Amino acid sequence: MSQKLRFVNINQSAFFPTVRQNVESYFQEQGISKNANTLMWIKTAFYLIGFFSLYLLILSGWFGTWVTVGMTLVLGAFGAFIGFNICHDAIHGSFSKSSRVNKSLSYLFHIIGANPYLWNISHNVVHHTYTNIPGHDEDIEVAPGLIRLDESEKVNKIQRFQHLYAFWLYGLASLSWALRKDYIKFFKKQIGQHTNNHPKREYFNLFFFKFVHYFLFIGVPFIVLDLTWWQAALGFLIMHLAEGVVMGLVFQLAHVVEGTHFPVPNEQGNVEEAWANHQMRTTANFAPRSAVASFFLGGLNRQIEHHLFPKVCHVHYPAISKIVKQTAAEFDLPYIEIDSFKAALSSHYRMLRKLGKEAYLIQASSAQLTLVK
C-alpha cells in the first residue's frame, strides 16, 4: 500500500483562493457560463461527424488499399481528438451543467477503446491530486523498467536509450488501453491512493463495451469488407497506433518538460506546499497562442488552467489564462510556458536524455568511484 499523502500549506499561501475568486469574477462580469459555448458544440459536431464519416467510408470498400490505410490513420487521430475535446471535459463534468449530458458524452470514450469510469479514477482523482509525485501519480509510470521519469528510481542499462525509443513506445498507449491497461487497473486493489470498490454495473460496462469496441473495429470490417482475420486485426492496430502517437506525445508535454518538478514527500508523507502551488510547479503549458493546438488538443496545451479549474470547459482557458498568469506573478509562483509544440517536444526529449543516458553515466561514475575507494 502506498504511503498516505497530505498537502500541508506551511506558508499559508492564499494563491488558490485569490485566483479562484478572480476567475469567478471574470465569468460573473462577462455573464457567461463556465460550460460549453457555441464553439464547443461546433467542435463536438466536427469531431463526431469526421470520425463516423471516416468509419463509414472505410466500410464502403470504395477505395484502394493505401487510401484505406490513410483513412484508418486519420480515424485513429480523430479518436484521440474526440478524447481530448469531448470526453475529457465530459468526464470532468465541465462540458455541461447537466450531469446527464456529461455522462452521455463520456460514453464516447468506450467507442475509442477506453473506459471512462477508470479514467475518472486514475486521471481526475489520482493524477489531478498527486501530479508528478513518484509512486502516486500513475500518469508518469508510462512503461516501468523501460521509461524512467522518476529521479529517485535507479536507472538501468536499457533506459540509457529511452530518448531514442520512448516516442515509439508512446504509440502503444491507445492499444494498451484497449487490450490491457483498463483490465489491469480494474482488478487492482488500489489505483494510487484510491481503493477500488467498483459498483456491479461497472463490471458489465467494462466487458460489454470492450466487446463493442472490438466488434466495431475488428468484427464489422472483417464481415463487411470480406477481409482475412489478420487484415482486420492489422487495421485495428494501425488505427490504435495513430491514436496512441497523438495521445502519447501530447500527454507527456504537460508535465515532463524542463522546469517542471517531481516533488518527494517527507517521511511523514507530507508535501509541504498548498495543492494549487504544487500544480504550478508540476504543470506546463505549450503552444498557448496556437489556434491550431487549441482547436485540436482540447485545452491540453493549457494544462495549468485545466489543473486549477477542471470544472471549467476548455474553450474558456485562453481567457482565464491571463488571470492565472497575473495572479501567479503576484504570489511569486512559476507559470511554465513553452512557446510551441516543437519546442515542447525538444524539451521532453532533453528530459528523457537527462533522466536516462545522463543519469546512467552519473550513476556508473559514482559506482566506479565507490569501487576505487
Q: Which residues are CB-contacts of 154 (< 8 A; sequence separation ≥ 6)? A: 363
Res 126: pLDDT: 82
Query: C-alpha distances in angstroms, 335 versus 124, 142, 259, 329?
Result: 22, 25, 10, 8
Query: Which grid coordinates are listed for 351?
Result: 528530459
CA-to-CA distance for 167 and 28, rounded, in angstroms?
Answer: 43
Place of cell 470492450: 210
H/E stretch holding 337 reads strand 336-338
Query: Which run of H or E residues covers position 7?
Result: strand 6-7
Residue 321: its pLDDT value, please? 95
**pTM across the whole model:** 0.89
Give the separation between CA 94 and CA 299, rounded to whole angstroms.
12
Q: What is the pLDDT along the chain (373 residues), one digit of tens a residue?
A: 456 778 887 888 899 999 999 999 999 999 999 999 999 999 999 999 999 999 999 999 899 889 999 999 999 999 999 999 999 999 999 999 999 999 999 999 999 999 999 888 888 888 888 888 877 777 777 777 788 887 778 888 898 999 999 888 888 888 888 999 889 888 888 776 677 788 899 999 999 999 999 999 999 999 999 889 999 999 999 999 999 988 888 888 888 899 998 888 887 778 888 999 999 999 999 999 999 999 999 889 999 999 999 999 999 999 999 999 999 999 999 999 999 999 999 999 999 999 888 888 887 777 666 655 5
CA–CA–CA angle 92, 308, 103 (5° rounding): 5
Q: Which residues pair with 285 in a beta bridge?
A: 302, 337
Q: Where are the domains of the chain?
A: 6-372
Cβ-count burial 316-327 (b if 16+ within 10 Å, e if not): bbeebbeebbeb
- What is the rounded CA–CA span in Å between residue 178 and residue 365? 42
Determine the pLDDT at residue 111. 93
**121 Cβ neighbours under 8 A, 6+ residues apart:** 185, 191, 194, 196
DSSP letter string over 175-217?
HHIIIIIHHHHHTSSEETTEEP---HHHHHHHHHHHHHHHIII
Q: Which of these, 193, 222, 149, 122, lies nearest to 114 by C-alpha position? A: 122
Helices (H), the chain: 15-30, 38-60, 65-82, 88-92, 99-106, 108-111, 116-119, 128-129, 162-170, 173-176, 182-186, 200-214, 220-224, 229-252, 275-282, 291-297, 303-308, 317-330, 341-353, 359-372
- In this structure, are residues 213 and 182 in contact, taking their beta carbons and an 8 Å threshold? no
Q: Determine contact, residues 110/83, Cβ cutoff 8 Å.
A: no
In this structure, the number of other CB atoms found within 10 A of the CB of residue 191 comes to 19
**Cα 51 to chain centroid, rounded:** 20
In degrees and rounded to multiples of 5, residue 336 shows phi and psi of -80, 120
CA distance 5 to 129: 10
Confidence (pLDDT) at 344: 93
Q: What is the helix (H) or strand (E) element at residue 336, kind and residue range?
A: strand 336-338
* Ramachandran assignment for 88, one of left (phi > 0), alpha (psi -120 to 50 degrees), beta (any other): alpha
pLDDT of residue 1: 42
